[in-house]
């Protein structure tokens, strides 16, 4: 069961600081099946697809965040993952539909081994499916579409050393 927005670290922080720009450490998970397709989730209430992702909670390591977010959004248990890229900087600032400004500080992991069965509907999602990397599901927001394309390009170019952006 996921933590409610109000109970989350970012939710509590937003309650105190309003809409000012924050740097929020987060993860994004790339899960590939045996055909090389990428797992995407349809986020509840957003009518848009994305890779499993989310922000870190207080007293949580970045790998614990990865495991929690993947489980909450897919039902899968991460057994082994490799960090492939880290996104930060002014070019990664966006504002959500609530007017909250964020500067991305995102660790992207390739989840190389997992267990369990995909849960297509969770508290946070309405579907989960694998898609070929050249046939992305609907991603309505232009920033997130471009970011997904960049993440997949980094996956293709990953040679064992962390890619910093």
CATH number of the domain that residue 24 is part of: 3.90.79.10
The predicted pLDDT at position 26 comes to: 96
User: Which CB contacts under 8 angstroms, 24+ apart, belong to 91-96?
Assistant: 92/147, 92/165, 93/21, 94/143
- Asked whether residue 30 is domain-assigned, the answer is yes
- Asked whether residue 3 is domain-assigned, the answer is no
- Asked whether residue 136 is domain-assigned, the answer is yes
pLDDT, tens digit, for every residue of 81-136?
Answer: 999 999 998 888 888 878 899 999 999 999 999 999 999 999 889 999 999 999 99
The predicted pLDDT at position 30 comes to: 98
Taking all residues of the chain, what is their mean pLDDT, rounded to a whole number?
A: 93
Q: What is the mean pLDDT of residues 34-42?
A: 97
pTM for this model (two decimals): 0.93
Contact 55, 8 (CB under 8 A): yes
Instruction: Please count the structural domains in the chain.
Output: 1
Q: What is the mean pLDDT of residues 133-159?
A: 94
- Asked whether residue 1 is domain-assigned, the answer is no
Q: What is the mean pLDDT of residues 14-38?
A: 95
Domain that holds residue 70: 9-164
């Amino acid at each position: 069961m996921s933590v409610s927005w109000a109970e989350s670290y970012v939710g509590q922080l937003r309650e105190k600081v309003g809409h000012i720009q924050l740097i929020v450490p987060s993860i994004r998970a790339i899960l590939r099946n045996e055909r090389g397709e990428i797992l995407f989730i349809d986020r509840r209430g957003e009518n848009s697809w994305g890779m499993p992702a989310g922000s870190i909670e207080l007293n949580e390591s970045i790998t614990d965040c990865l495991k929690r977010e993947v489980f909450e959004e897919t039902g899968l248990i991460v057994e082994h993952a490799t960090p492939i890229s880290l996104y930060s900087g002014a070019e990664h600032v966006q504002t959500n539909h609530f007017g909250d400004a964020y500067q991305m500080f995102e660790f992207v992991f390739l989840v190389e081994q997992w267990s369990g069965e995909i849960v297509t509907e969770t508290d946070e999602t309405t579907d989960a499916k694998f898609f070929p990397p050249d046939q992305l599901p609907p991603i309505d927001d232009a920033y997130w579409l471009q970011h997904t394309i960049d993440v997949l390009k980094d996956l293709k170019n990953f040679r064992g050393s962390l890619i910093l952006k």
